[in-house]
Structure 1
C-alpha cells in the first residue's frame, strides 16, 4: 500500500465540569467536546523500521521529547503489540497545533496514528470497544479524538456518547504562548466538584448554545487563569471583537476559543488579534 494520510483536528472542550475523583486520583469529567477545522497532519509510509519526522510551525515544541513520551511512537508500539504486527512505518508529523495547549494535539496525533496504521497495515476485525480501550491506554483524551466528532465525554474520558446537534460555529482559537501545569490546576480545585449539567440533544442557535456554555463553564478556567493571568487577557481579547457571542478556555489551557455570529467576524477577529499580539497563535475556523 502507498502512503496513507490522516488529519488530527484540534479538540475543543466547549464545556468541562470536574464532577469527582476516583480512588486512584484520576478526576471524573463531564465535557461537551467538539473538533475544529484546523489540526496536525500525519503521513504514513510502509517501511521495515519505525521512524518519525516532525516538521511544521510547532515542531520545535517536540524536539526535546523523549521517544517513550511521544504519543505517536507509543500509539505505533501499542497497536503493533496488540495486533501482533511485525511491520515498521515511516511517519511524517506536520505539527500545526501548539504543544500541550488544551486542544488535544498529542492525543489527536495518537488517535490519527491508530486510524492511519489500521489502514496501512490492513488490520481487520478490531472492534470499536477494543480500539477505545487501546486509545484510553495512551491517554484520557485519545478515545474522543479517535472519533473526532461532537461527543459528550464522561468518566476519565472513556465514556463517550453522541453529542448534540450544533449550530454552525464560527470560531477563533487563541493561544497566548504560555505553558500551564495541568496537575497544579486540578490540585487548585481543592476538592470542589461540580454537579453534572443536563445534556441537551440540540441547540437552536449560537446564542442558545452560548447560554448553555455560560451556565456549564469550564471548572479548570479559574485555576488556570490564576496560574497564568495572561489567559484572562486572551479571553478578553476574544470577547472584545465584533460579533463575539462567547469566549472560554479549552481543556486545562492555555488555548481559548471565541464563538462568533459569522465566519467573516471570526476572520476579522483572528486578524485583529494577530496584529495586536503577533506572538500569539490566532486562527479562525469552524467547530463540529
Structure 2
C-alpha cells in the first residue's frame, strides 16, 4: 500500500463562518501534500456559535459550505473530514453532521453525532444541554478510503466504548474523533479516553480539536492527537493552533491484530450489526 498521511487541524473557531473558512485555507496553505492525505477538522469548525438559533440559521446553508470544501479538496488533491456542521432536520432542530469528502470533492460519507452532550461541568458555562437544539443520529458509519477503513464519531461519543466496538466489528482501522472538549473534561479525560479506544480496538485515531478562548465564551482544551493502534501518541498539537501529521502503516496494524487477536477473543461482541 502506498504511503499515506493524516493531518489534524487544531482551530479556534469564531462565530463567523467566513473567518473560519479563511483560517482553514491558511492552515492548508502551510501544509505539503506529497502523499495521499486525509485532512481532519475539529467539531464546530465552521462556526462556534453562542446560541442554538444562530446554529439553526447556519444549518440551512450547509450545502454552500460543502461546495466550498469540495473546491479545496480538488485544489489540494486531498480527502477531507469536515468535523461537524449543523444540518437542518427540516423542522426546528439540526443534526451535528460530520462529512467525509474525497479528492474530487464528493461526499462519500455523513455521520450524525449519536451521543449528545447533556452534562453539568464546573467551568464558566456551568452546564450543557446539546439535546435542546440537536437531533441525535442513529446510524453507525464506517467507510472505505485510500487510507484504510474509516469509522466516524464526534466528541462526546468518545465516552461510549460500544460505538467503537461496533465500528471495529464493521472493519474500522481508523477512528476519527473531531472534538471541542471543555478545558475541565479535557484535562481529566481526553488523552486516556482516546488511548483506551485505540488500544481496545487496535485502531489508529485522528482527533482534531478546538483550542482556546472562543468568541462565544467557551474555553476548549486543544491537544489534537494522532494515536497508533498500540495507543502511542504519534503527534500532539498541545495548545497551539495549526496542524499535526503522521503517516499510517496498515501493515503494522494488521500485524498487531494477528499477534494479539482481541477481536477474535472477544466474548461480548455486539449483536447490533450481526
The two structures have a TM-score, normalised by structure 2, of 0.29
The two structures have a TM-score, normalised by structure 1, of 0.28
| Larger relative contact order, structure 1 or 2 (CA cutoff 8 Å, min sep 6) | 1
Which protein is bigger by CA-based radius of gyration?
1
